[in-house]
A and B are shown apart, each in its own frame.
Chain A
């Protein structure tokens, strides 16, 4: 009998695998098809606008397209009922830098102030500069305002810090690893215990707010409002345990070949959710 159950279990899981791959395949293709529709509809809407633009300024066709896209992305961001301040991208599969850079750049375009990128093996931490370069490249490619006129301004605006970069003075991009999770809480605990050892404070004074402000000192970013999780593993994989108290988790099958519409869909889902905060 045990053998029968074993076999049925295996068949069940094989079926599940097939179903998942099928869904992600369909998603990709349907979106592409949908995306074309979208583009056409938008072209119809924006062509008159772009034409009136070109009366004042002569622009190359590619720049034209970029401006359209940028306008559309900005408008999408504003049309949402609420926009997350901080979005975490949790990658639980083999990373592809171009797709991640695209995601980050779209987040910037929509108007999100903080974007963090996380994986549980510290791959991004180790390849921090590679990711940041990729983001800069995609940013230029997708967003650049005035064609090749001011390519340097972007670069000048980038303030280099260890693992946290501010792009075009609007969006902060941060790479996170498990090191920022439990170990950072432990470091804060150690600090407090040292203070107790030195008789600077007592155990009775320790509270949620004391610990929270200590943790905020080491990481001056707001708690993530939304985490987009990419990949087949349904878990936070050690993503900032202290900070994800009220974070919404939206799971997407993969970040490979992800489209802007996928991201917008997730943001729309976030925009309609209601938080009751215990009430």
Chain B
């Protein structure tokens, strides 16, 4: 079963898609693909069969998303907590992932045609080494594609991701790239695994569970949440439409909440810059109070230098991450 499915929507589906597209559409949708095991139990098939049916559904859903002009999809494939499952099931899932990523490498041309960029978010070091290698190969091979994006969260939890972001910032401090006072909400967002994606507009969880289970907690603060009762392998185009309708319904209020949040964030940044300037003046100044004009100038100078530091640090972080994948994929080739 391949990653990209060819095929068009039927007439009725196309009509529904066009109607939906008359309203605001989500650009980025995240999925918690829950219910594979319950599906297997219900249909009396092997658990592993449930998981591979789930993967097939993912390929189908990606096609629907493309047809609906949704350019970015993030999926929760494997949580760090899932390592607690039976060894047999974990091994089965790792094997399935390995197969699918090999398959992906074989389909490179197809991916290039559609311009699909694959990213894997999570703590790769927790995975078996051969899986790490093939993932790295897939990531490196598709890194320059930019028409649509698929983020696969593998060995991921949101708390782990946030803690890792803090760790990266601390690394930046150790390297002398940034100061601890440069730490801000915006910077933390950019240190997350998902730094290259906009926040999801819509998060869909299937199988009727109504929690986030440690998935994109930071990123979905102002996203629309759609909890649907259908099991993931039974997910249909119409379920997706229903979720989008829900998003459109909340769209205006969400937009307002986001703007309010953005203003607050800017306000906090300004406040923190002011405090830093005041401290600098206290330490380095000659004790004379500054007039309003000079104070503004000092603030502007400080902001520029902070932005420069942050910019350099983020560039260093990105190249550190790129190198990690690059080296891994190199070892796979030799």
Contacts and interface: CB of A to CB of B under 8 A. Distances in A.
Interface of A: 1-2, 5-6, 8-10, 12-13, 16, 92, 120-121, 178, 181-183, 185-186, 188-190, 192-194, 196-197, 202-204, 206-208, 210-212, 232-239, 241-242, 244-250, 273, 275, 277-279
Nearest to B180: A193
B158 A186 contact: no
B221 A182 contact: yes
21 contacts: A8-B22, A181-B221, A185-B218, A186-B185, A189-B188, A192-B170, A193-B166, A193-B173, A193-B183, A194-B180, A204-B167, A207-B167, A208-B163, A211-B166, A236-B221, A238-B222, A241-B217, A245-B213, A246-B211, A248-B211, A277-B81
B257 interface: yes
Nearest to B169: A193
Contacts of A196: 170, 173-174, 180
B264 interface: yes
Across the A-B interface, give the 8 residue pairs with the lowest CB-CB distance, nearest first: A278-B81, A203-B170, A193-B180, A9-B22, A241-B217, A194-B180, A5-B22, A203-B171
A178 B249 CA distance: 23
A232 B249 contact: yes
A244 B119 CA distance: 26
Interface stretch (B5-13, B141-149, B223-231, B290-298): B223-231
Interface residues of B, number: 63
Contacts of B225: 234-236, 249
Given A193-B170, A233-B254, A235-B250, A185 B162 contact: yes
A206 B163 CA distance: 7
B35 to A, nearest CB: 12
B290 to A, nearest CB: 26
A277 B188 contact: no
A246 B22 contact: no
B183 A189 contact: yes
A16 B249 contact: yes
Contacts of B248: 13
Interface string B145-177: 000000000000111101101111111011000
Nearest to B212: A244
A278 B85 contact: yes
Nearest to A211: B163
A182 B218 contact: yes
B159 A212 contact: yes
B261 interface: yes
B333 interface: no
Contacts of A192: 166, 170
B217 A244 contact: yes
B1 interface: no
A159 B158 CA distance: 36
A217 to B, nearest CB: 15
